[in-house]
Copies of this chain bind each other. A is one copy, B any other.
Amino acid sequence: MATLEQVAFRAGCSLATASRVLNRNGPASDLMVRKVRRAAAELGYHAAGRLGRRPVIGVLIPSITNPVFASSLSSIQNRMLVAGHGVLIAQSNYDPAREADAVAALLNDRPTGLILTVCDPSTSDALLARLPPTVLLHNLPTAQFPAAVTADNRGAGREVTTFLIGMGHRRILFLSGNFAASDRARLRYKGYLDAMAESGLEPLDAVQIPFVGGYDQLDLSDVMTSLSPTAIIASNDLLALGVIGALKREGLSVPGDVSVAGFDGIAIGRLIDPPLTTIEMPDASMGATAASLLLDMAENAAPARHLDVAYTLRRGGTVRAI
C-alpha cells in the first residue's frame, strides 16, 4: 500500500502539498497538481490511511428501480469488484435539485472517482463542485467533464421514427417522460423531429407525462381523442409498457389499432405478447465501459474520452404496417 510520503517523494514536493492536492483543499499550482496526481496514479495511491479501507467509487443514477439504471449499476459493480473497489450508490429520483446533494454525500466517502447519470449535464449543480475523476454515463460530455459513455440517442430517435414512417405511419406521436428529467428523452425527440422533417411530415409536439411512481394508471383518452395518432413512440420502454396498458384499457389493440415503440430494450419487453418494438441499448456493457474508463483515468491517469456505443432496432410485434 503506497503512502502519501511516497507520492510526495515521487512528485518532488512535500507531504503538505501532496495532501492539499489530493484533498482539493488549500492552494496548489497547476504544475504541482499534475505532478502529484500523476505520482499518485502511478503508485496506485488511495487515501486509505491506517484504517486500510478499500477504495470506493460513487455512482449517481436517477433511480435504482428503473431497469436501465439497475443494469448499469450491476455491471459497474461487477467491474469494480474485480478492480478491488467498493461501489457506493446515490439516487436523484429524477430531481435535478437533489443531484448536487447526492454527489456531496458521495464525496463524504472520499471516492476514487464518480460515475454520474444526471438529468442535464449542462445545467446540473452536481457538476459545479471540484470532483475526483468523473465519467458521465448516458449523458453527453461537457467541456469540463469530457469523459462520457453514451449511445446516439438522437440517431436512435431518428431510426425508430424512420422505421415507423417506412411502415406507412404519418401521424406519429412522441410521448415522453418529463423532458427536464432526461436529456436522453430530449435527444430522442430531436431524432423524431429529424426523421419527420426528412420525410416532409408534420411533426407533433411531444406530450410529456409526469412520472408518479409508475405508469400503471396512465390515461391517454384525451391525447388519443385530440391527436388520433396511428403510432406512438414512447421515450422509454417502461413508458411504452404503460402506454400499451392504457390503450388496452380504452379498448384499443396494439398493434391492431395503434402501433407502439420504445427505447432501451429492457428484458421485460421481450416477455410481453407481442414483444415490444424498441431500440435496444447495451446498458450493461455501457456500465462496464464507464467503470473501465474511470479506472483507467483514476489509476493510469489516462485522458478523458467520449465513448459512443452502438444501438440496434429490435422489431417486436407492437408495430404494424398500415
Contacts and interface: CB of A to CB of B under 8 A. Distances in A.
A124 interface: no
A87 interface: yes
A244 B271 CA distance: 8
Interface in A90-119: 90-91, 102, 105-106, 108-110
10 contacts: A51-B110, A64-B77, A73-B89, A77-B91, A86-B106, A86-B108, A87-B89, A214-B270, A216-B270, A248-B273
B77 A90 contact: yes
B77 A214 contact: no
B54 A108 contact: yes
A300 interface: no
B105 A54 contact: yes
A54 B109 contact: yes
Contact of A245 (B63, B242, B272): B272
Interface string A59-93: 00001110100110110011001000011111100
Interface in A224-256: 241-242, 244-245, 248
Contacts of A24: none
A108 B201 CA distance: 59
Interface of A: 47, 49-54, 56, 63-65, 67, 70-71, 73-74, 77-78, 81, 86-91, 102, 105-106, 108-110, 214-216, 241-242, 244-245, 248, 267-268, 270-273
A74 B78 contact: no
A74 B67 contact: no
Nearest to A249: B273
B241 A271 contact: yes
Contacts of A86: 56, 88, 105-106, 108-109
Contacts of A106: 86
Contact of A109 (B53, B74, B216, B248): B53
Nearest to A283: B65
A52 B50 CA distance: 13
